[in-house]
Amino acid sequence: MTGIVRARDLHLVACTACGLLCRGAHDRAAHGCPRCGARLHVRKPDSIGRTWALLIASVILYVPANVLPVMHTGALFAGRETHTILGGIVELWNTGSWDLALIVFVASVVVPILKMIGLSLLALSARQKTPWRPRQCATLYRMIEAVGHWSMLDVFVVALLVALVDFGNLAEVLPGPGIVAFGAVVVLTMLASASFDPRLIWDAQERHG
């Protein structure tokens, strides 16, 4: 870290609301941004604690999101059926819609799991005294931010099916409680990603150095 001048060393801090670069960060922290009035923070307050709390909540809700039915289907001659996320993926694959099954599998299973694992690694790396590959961690954080919003795709698929496959007394598709739990998982992981401050990764490297 030799030769690198940090904003903290120059008493500068960027407003997270409007992006204004403010001088005298520690003095202005209690008064807020001079342009928009938002609170100024050199680092996000209790970033790691908030990230862990949201991650744990998302892991807990991920179980009912996969166990409870996400969709109820009914037809005039076929009766009523319930579908979980994994059951729906298998059903789509068996009926020949392998492309849609692959999209739902990636959006509903792969992305949430990888996002929770990635955020856990970032939180551990930021907390420990010896940082683990800070450049790779920064890249991982950018990847999580880039692909995280696509995990809501499965919710959109179910909503589309509900809107399209509704033929009154002939057939109907209704959302199940599992889709609520899955939507909560997506929102919680997005909030966990927003709560994590990636600058803490470099703070850990500086403490080690």
Determine contact, residues 141/123, Cβ cutoff 8 Å: no
Q: Are residues 61 and 142 in the same domain?
A: yes
Owning domain of residue 79: 46-208
Determine contact, residues 6/27, Cβ cutoff 8 Å: no
* Per-residue model confidence (pLDDT) at position 55: 94
Q: Are residues 79 and 2 in the same domain?
A: no
Q: What are the backbone angles phi and psi of residue 133, rounded to the nearest 5°?
A: 45, 70
Q: Are residues 119 and 58 in the same domain?
A: yes
Q: Are residues 188 and 139 in the same domain?
A: yes
Q: What is the mean pLDDT of residues 68-72?
A: 80
Q: What is the mean pLDDT of residues 20-30?
A: 62
For residue range 33-61, what is the model confidence (pLDDT) as tens digits? 778 877 777 778 888 899 999 999 999 99
Q: Are residues 90 and 35 in the same domain?
A: no
Q: Are residues 170 and 103 in the same domain?
A: yes
* Per-residue model confidence (pLDDT) at position 170: 56
CB proximity list for 146: less than 8 A, separation 6 or greater: none
Token pair, residue 21, equals 């670069």
Query: How many percent of the chain have pLDDT more than 90?
Result: 11
Tell me the C-alpha distance between 62 and 144, whole Å: 18
Q: Are residues 15 and 96 in the same domain?
A: no
* Per-residue model confidence (pLDDT) at position 42: 75
Token pair, residue 14, equals 């960027």
